[in-house]
Structure 1
Amino acid sequence: MSRQLILDLPLRQSQGREDFFVAPANALALATLDAPESWPQGRMLLIGPEGAGKSHLAQIWADTQGAPVMSAEELTDEAAPDLVRAGAVVVEDAERVAESAATQAALFHLHNLMLAERGRLLLTARSAPRDWGLSLPDLLSRMSATANVRIEPPDDALLSAVLVKLFADRQIAVPAALIPWLVTRMDRSLATARQLVAALDARALSENRAITRSLAAEVLDTLG
């Protein structure tokens, strides 16, 4: 069987509120982000594992607030005043500020400016600040005092919805019965769901095969 050339094209991932599936695992996080006026000192840390939907939730919040979204490693002291003028800021992967003294100092500066101007600061991270490896004591103190909300491990309904969305983002039609079949056999992780759908897409394209239970079983074996 001939193999097809696979082009590594960027995917269109829907990040609107209408594309966010609300489940017990993320309902509290969504409700918390929907009420920023209740955040202590205008700060909130959204914690969850890789692929849990933190970026999607953060983008929904950023859209409602008109907030710029920055990755932690992009932070600089020089950028902080412009970010503060927006009135609300999202810092993604906040744990990565620990990679350098400069980014730690920049986040500390941004935090203090946002507090002084009564702006709102949303941070996302995979773990609590005590696990980031921060070397700046004042920043560790500020981050540890920041209110947080967690995205919990996904249930069957959320995993199913995410699989459906991931296939749709790639414009792939799969049998409806395949989704619950995958959910009962895959690791219970949204990161695994992304990896699985990407692997199924690549395998189906390279071998010119439809995505069936047989192909899915083969791919699951390779991921295990």
Structure 2
Amino acid sequence: MTQPPGPSHGVTPQLPLALRYPPEQRFESFIAAPNGALAQLQALAGQPHADWIYLAGAARTGKTHLALALCAAAEQAGLRVAYLPMAAAAGRLRDALDALEGNDVIALDGLEAIAGQREDEIALFDFHNRARAAGINVLYTAREVPDALGLSLPDLRSRLSQCTRLVLQPLDDDGRRALLRDRAQRRGLVLEDAAIDWLLARTERDLGSLVALLDRLDRESLAAQRRITVPFLRSVLDAR
């Protein structure tokens, strides 16, 4: 999924929700969230001292979508927000985390990127304790739950295990159909059931690939001035 630029310091409060977070990645556009998960994330985005959340799930199950949705909702509520993809900060995590202090809500996306790197783990452990003391709301995401993440620092694993845990599952076929219909509707596209079934039978089915494919079909149909029908899908995908 598309990543926004790193946290922008000094953004004026009058800016509209700034397009720093992709408009498709909002709570209301997330399909098949675990029961109660969106309410818990919404509380984290707007309520002081809300329960911290550890969001686990395999690649392309929507963790980044929800992390960015959290940031967008918190910013909309007038809070100071920071989003950090951990892969971008691996090896220098202490400096990156120090730069985030002063925010009200922080999303740290992809903890697996620093698992096993002792200095980064110590930096995250120190950040966790400081953020707790400061009353900052924090969301962690990772591909595995803390005990399976490969962390070398037991104290960090213990801290992360104390967060409220939410686990995302890959979408089933009904969920994929709902995703495609929702995203098509948001773009003003007509995507018939026959076209959806044809796509699901012949393409990669993970969330990220489906969204990327729909983006491509949107561009291709606009350029060709054609509806997205099965013959159109054949012509586009056969040209790959």
Structure 1 length as normaliser, TM-score?
0.70
Higher relative contact order, structure no. (Cα contacts within 8 Å, ≥ 6 residues apart): 1
51, 65, 70: which one pairs with 1:61? 70
127, 150, 156: which one pairs with 1:133? 150
Counterpart for residue 94 of structure 2: 77
**Match runs of 1:61-210 below 5 Å:** 61-65=70-74, 66=79, 67-73=81-87, 74=89, 76-98=93-115, 100-164=117-181, 173=189, 175-177=191-193, 178-183=195-200, 188-194=205-211, 196-197=213-214
1:153 partner SS: coil
1: distance between equivalents of 2:48 and 2:55?
12
Contact 1:89–1:121, Cα closer than 8 Å, also in 2: yes
Counterpart for residue 45 of structure 1: 54
Counterpart for residue 37 of structure 2: 29
Query: Cα offset for 1:69?
Result: 0.2
2: distance between equivalents of 1:31 and 1:220?
39
Task: Identify unmatched segments of 5+ residues in structure 2.
Answer: 1-20
Decide whether aligned partners of structure 1 residues 219 and 142 sit closer, same or farther in structure 2, where only a CA change above 3 A counts. farther
Decide whether aligned partners of structure 1 residues 145 and 217 sit closer, same or farther in structure 2, where only a CA change above 3 A counts. farther
Decide whether aligned partners of structure 1 residues 168 and 29 sit closer, same or farther in structure 2, where only a CA change above 3 A counts. same
Query: Cα offset for 1:94?
Result: 1.3
Contact 1:28–1:149, Cα closer than 8 Å, also in 2: no
Counterpart for residue 7 of structure 1: none
Counterpart for residue 10 of structure 2: none
Query: Cα offset for 1:38?
Result: 8.8
2: distance between equivalents of 1:56 and 1:159?
15
1: distance between equivalents of 2:232 and 2:82?
41
Counterpart for residue 15 of structure 2: none
Q: In percent, how many aligned pairs have the same letter?
A: 30
Deviates more, 1:13-22 or 1:119-128: 13-22
Q: Which amino acid aligns with 2:170?
A: P
Contact 2:27–2:38, Cα closer than 8 Å, also in 1: no
2: distance between equivalents of 1:105 and 1:18?
32
Contact 1:42–1:118, Cα closer than 8 Å, also in 2: no
Q: Which amino acid aligns with 1:32?
A: Q
**1:114-139 superposed Cα distances (whole Å, 9 cap, x missing partner):** 11112211011121122222122221
Decide whether aligned partners of structure 1 residues 18 and 46 sit closer, same or farther in structure 2, where only a CA change above 3 A counts. closer
Structure 2 length as normaliser, TM-score?
0.66
Decide whether aligned partners of structure 1 residues 144 and 39 sit closer, same or farther in structure 2, where only a CA change above 3 A counts. farther
Contact 2:117–2:152, Cα closer than 8 Å, also in 1: no
